[in-house]
Structure 1
Amino acid sequence: MAVSAQGVTDVRDAPHVPGNVLASIGALLLGMLLAALDQTIVSTALPTIVSDLGGLEHLSWVVTAYLLASTAATPLWGKLGDQYGRKRLFQAAIVIFLVGSALCGMAQGMGQLIAFRALQGLGGGGLMVLSMAIVGDIVPPRDRGRYQGLFGAVFGTTSVLGPLLGGLFTEQLSWRWVFYVNLPVGVVALAVIAGALHIPRRFARHTIDYLGTFLIASVATCLVLVASLGGTTWAWGSAETVGLVVLGAALGVAFVLVERRAAEPVLPPKLFRIRTFTLSAVISFIVGFAMFGAMTYLPTFLQVVHGVTPTMSGVHMLPMVVGMLLSSTLSGQTVSRTGRWKVFPVAGTAVTAIGLLLLHRLDETSSTAEMSSCFLVFGLGLGLVMQVLVLIVQNAVSYENLGVATSGATFFRSIGASFGVAVFGTVFAGRLEDRLTGAFRGVAGVSVDALKSDPRGIAALPASLRPAALHAFAQSISDVFLYAAPVALLGFVLACFLKEDTLRGSVTAPDVTETLASNPVERSSYDEVCRALSVLGTREGRRQIYREITERSGYDLLPAASRLLLRIKKHGTVEPGLLAERSSLPLAVVIAAVRQVEERRLAEREGLDLVLTEQGREVAERLALTREESLAALLGDWWGPGRPTDLTQLVRELTGELCGSDREQPQNGAPTGSR
Structure 2
Amino acid sequence: MSAPTLPETGAKSHRQILEALSGLLLVLFLAMISSTVVSVSLPQIIGSLDGTQSQYTWVVTAALLTTTASTPIWGKLADLFSKKLLLEIAIGIFLVASLACGFAQNTAMLISFRAVQGLGMGALQILVQVIIAAMISPKERGKYNGYLGAVMAVATVGGPLLGGLITDTSWLGWRWCFFLPIPFTAIALIVLHRTLDIVSVRRPGTSVDYPGALLIAAGVSILLVWVTFVHNSFDWISWQTFAMVGASVVLLAVAVWVESVVREPVVPLHVIRRRTPALAILASLAVGMAMFGGAVFLGQYFQIGRGYSPTEAGLLTIPMMFGVLVSSTVSGRMVSRSGRVKPYILVGSIVLTLGFAALSMIDHETSLVLVGAGMLVVGAGVGMCMQNLVLAVQNTVPLRELGAASGAITFFRSLGGTIGVSVLGAVLANQVTENISTGLTKAGIPVPASQSSGGASLNMDALPEPIRTIVRAAYGDATGHIFLISACIAVVGILAVLFLPQVRLRDSVDLAEPAAGADAPAAAESH
Q: TM-score, normalised by structure 2?
A: 0.83
Indicate yes or no: 2:176 matched with 1:180: no
Alignment counterpart, residue 66 of structure 1, candidates 58, 63, 67: 63
Q: Distance in 2 between matches of 1:423 and 1:456?
A: 24
**8 Å Cα contact 1:90/1:130 also seen in 2:** yes
Amino acid corresponding to residue 176 of structure 1 in structure 2 = R
Q: Which residue of 1 aligns with 2:10?
A: none
User: What secondary structure is seen at the aligned counterpart in 2 of 1:112?
Assistant: helix
Alignment counterpart, residue 95 of structure 1, candidates 92, 97, 108: 92
Q: Distance in 2 between matches of 1:355 and 1:267?
A: 32
Distance of aligned partners of 1:26 and 1:116 in 2 relative to their CA distance in 1, 3 Å threshold: same
Q: Deviations over 1:294-328 (max 9, x none)?
A: 22101111111221111121111111121123223
Amino acid corresponding to residue 460 of structure 1 in structure 2 = P
Question: Which residues of 2 match residues 182-331 of structure 1 at below 5 A?
Answer: 182-190=181-189, 202-205=201-204, 206-331=206-331
Q: Which residue of 2 aligns with 1:429?
A: 429
Q: CA deviation at 1:217?
A: 1.7
Higher relative contact order (CA 8 A, sep 6+): 2
Q: Deviations over 1:135-175 (max 9, x none)?
A: 799x8999x96888745642443122222222222122211
Distance of aligned partners of 1:446 and 1:412 in 2 relative to their CA distance in 1, 3 Å threshold: same
Q: Distance in 2 between matches of 1:129 and 1:386?
A: 13
Q: Distance in 2 between matches of 1:399 and 1:131?
A: 15
**Which ranges in structure 1 are unaligned for 5 or more consecutive residues?**
1-13, 507-528, 534-634, 645-675
Amino acid corresponding to residue 185 of structure 1 in structure 2 = F
Q: Distance in 2 between matches of 1:426 and 1:491?
A: 22
Q: CA deviation at 1:110?
A: 1.4
Question: Which residues of 2 match residues 467-616 of structure 1 at below 5 A?
Answer: 467-496=469-498, 498-506=499-507, 529-530=508-509
Q: Distance in 1 between matches of 2:86 and 2:217?
A: 21
User: What secondary structure is seen at the aligned counterpart in 2 of 1:452?
Assistant: coil
User: What secondary structure is seen at the aligned counterpart in 2 of 1:227?
Assistant: helix
Q: Which residue of 2 aligns with 1:11?
A: none
Q: Distance in 1 between matches of 2:403 and 2:32?
A: 21
Amino acid corresponding to residue 160 of structure 2 in structure 1 = P
Indicate yes or no: 2:39 matched with 1:51: no
Q: Deviations over 1:65-96 (max 9, x none)?
A: 11221232233334445545445443332222
Q: Deviations over 1:411-435 (max 9, x none)?
A: 2111101110111110010011111
Q: Deviations over 1:447-487 (max 9, x none)?
A: 4747921251586223xx55433221111111111222222
User: What secondary structure is seen at the aligned counterpart in 1 of 2:349?
Assistant: helix
Q: Distance in 1 between matches of 2:392 and 2:137?
A: 23
Indicate the larger mover: 305-314 or 417-426: 305-314
Q: Which residue of 1 aligns with 2:31?
A: 35
**8 Å Cα contact 1:58/1:425 also seen in 2:** no
Distance of aligned partners of 1:343 and 1:404 in 2 relative to their CA distance in 1, 3 Å threshold: same
**Which ranges in structure 2 are unaligned for 5 or more consecutive residues?**
1-12, 519-527
Q: Distance in 2 between matches of 1:393 and 1:348?
A: 17
**8 Å Cα contact 2:37/2:163 also seen in 1:** yes
Q: Which residue of 1 aligns with 2:524?
A: none
Q: CA deviation at 1:197?
A: 6.7
Q: Deviations over 1:534-555 (max 9, x none)?
A: xxxxxxxxxxxxxxxxxxxxxx
Q: Which residue of 2 aligns with 1:456?
A: 460
Q: TM-score, normalised by structure 1?
A: 0.66
**8 Å Cα contact 2:428/2:479 also seen in 1:** yes
User: What secondary structure is seen at the aligned counterpart in 1 of 2:296?
Assistant: helix
Q: Distance in 1 between matches of 2:374 and 2:337?
A: 30
**8 Å Cα contact 2:320/2:376 also seen in 1:** yes
Amino acid corresponding to residue 377 of structure 1 in structure 2 = V
Q: Which residue of 2 aligns with 1:559?
A: none
Question: Which residues of 2 match residues 378-393 of structure 1 at below 5 A?
Answer: 378-393=378-393
Q: Which residue of 2 aligns with 1:113?
A: 110
Q: Distance in 1 between matches of 2:48 and 2:245?
A: 33
Q: Which residue of 2 aligns with 1:161?
A: 158
Alignment counterpart, residue 75 of structure 1, candidates 72, 91, 98: 72
Q: Distance in 2 between matches of 1:57 and 1:155?
A: 29
Identical residues among aligned pairs (%): 36
User: Which has more radius of gyration?
Assistant: 1
Q: Deviations over 1:250-272 (max 9, x none)?
A: 11111111111111112222334
Task: Give the RMSD, CA atoms, in angstroms.
Answer: 3.4
Q: Which residue of 2 aligns with 1:661?
A: none
User: What secondary structure is seen at the aligned counterpart in 1 of 2:157?
Assistant: helix
